[in-house]
Homo-oligomer: A and B are copies of this chain.
Amino acid sequence: MSTINQTRSITTVKSIIYSQHGDPKDVIKIHTYTLNEPKNDEIILKTLAFPINPSDINQLEGVYPSKPEKTLKYGTNEPSAIAGNEGVFEIYQIGPNVSKNFKIGDRVIPLGANFGTWTSHNIALEKDLIKLPSDLSIVKSATISVNPITAYQLVNNYGLIKGDWLIQNAGTSAVSQLVSQIANVKGINVISVIRDRDNFDEIAQKLIDQGAKKVISETENSNRDISKEISSLTNGKLKLALNSVGGKSSSNISRKLVENSTIITYGGMSKQPVTLPTSLFIFKNLKSIGYWVTEITKKDPSSKIHAIKELIKLYQNNQLKELEVVENIWKFDEFNDEEIKKLVEIALDNVSKGKQLIKIV
């Protein structure tokens, strides 16, 4: 490769990076640098869209156990990392040794965590990428790796079969809504517990339309009468509880399980610890475990590839709805650093209002 060639295909990149941990808005910086033409089996990716996930924020805060290595390779003064773990890219340039499986224009997502997705471009090797069909929407593609894989594996990896029941709290969360849809396809019945609210009936109906068999409020969840009703409805087949809340909500869903059941914790929205009655462990042989998609993928990357394939089918069959996101548009050719930072700050401010997606156009 001649110097002239390299110069011709230099890519200007803008990345949202951090070198310290703290409040995300305080620690992120916009950093501009260039990437040379890809060598050997390198692939340069152009980012189409990335979501802001709670785990991305926890990572910036320094309270998330999985974190990228900070490096000087972006030309910063301090070792830095690119924020973000999920997103969809288009192949932009390929090195001379890249196989025919990857062509310019192909849509890809990163296989591993800590890829650095809050950026206009990134560089990767074939083995770091999973190809997606180009007719899968940008939103579906950008958000397929975290919530849908979590939901897919929660429904499929714990021995439930057609006719079984599961109960989950935080029934309106993105993962819970995906769980209901995926379970429904498999013939697994779902009870979703949601917070008490004024428009309970309306939300409950929406969740039932999506595939949940029953929706109860947290007040009902704590009521012994409903336990009898659920016991008769589920007829000895309520074998799994999915907990992303903790505290009393975790107690109350676990009480409804039959003997030899499992409760899986994958979140803790209430900030209360997982709280489970002693008697369930001793006399009902309850097992309480955790689920973390990052660790499962690290141990067995093929599990992610498998789940992605199955999720693509579900999307293609219209058995899974696109996640609801709030789109924030980053106009790459127009926005200066200040405007990009402002865009991310607004998205960070709005995470409690819905999943924020940043789309680069």
Contact = CB atoms under 8 A, between A and B. Distances in A.
Given A273-B251, A276-B274, A290 B282 contact: yes
A288 B291 contact: no
A279 interface: yes
A22 interface: no
Interface string A284-297: 11111111100100
Copies of this chain, how many?
A: 2
A281 interface: yes
A133 interface: no
A255 B246 CA distance: 17
A265 B290 contact: no
Contact of A281 (B251, B277, B278, B288): B288
Given A251-B273, A273-B251, A265 B287 contact: no
> Could you tell me the dominant secondary structure of chain A's interface residues?
mixed
A216 interface: no
Nearest to A285: B290
B273 A268 contact: no
A275 B278 contact: no
A276 B273 contact: yes
A312 interface: no
Given A267-B278, A277-B273, A290 B295 contact: no
Contact of A275 (B274, B281, B287, B289): B274
B274 A283 contact: no
Interface string A182-197: 0000000000000000
A65 interface: yes
Contact of A278 (B251, B265, B280): B265
Contact of A285 (B246, B273, B278, B295): B295
Contacts of A295: 283, 285
Nearest to A269: B278
A229 to B, nearest CB: 22
Contacts of A284: 290
Contact of A283 (B276, B277, B279, B292): B292
Interface in A161-212: none
A102 interface: no
Contacts of A280: 290
Interface of A: 65, 246, 251, 265-268, 273-292, 295
What are the 8 tightest A-B residue pairs by CB atom distance, in nearest-first order? A281-B290, A268-B278, A288-B288, A265-B281, A282-B290, A65-B283, A282-B292, A273-B275
Given A65-B283, A282-B292, 9 more contacts: A265-B282, A268-B278, A268-B279, A274-B281, A276-B276, A276-B288, A284-B290, A285-B295, A286-B289
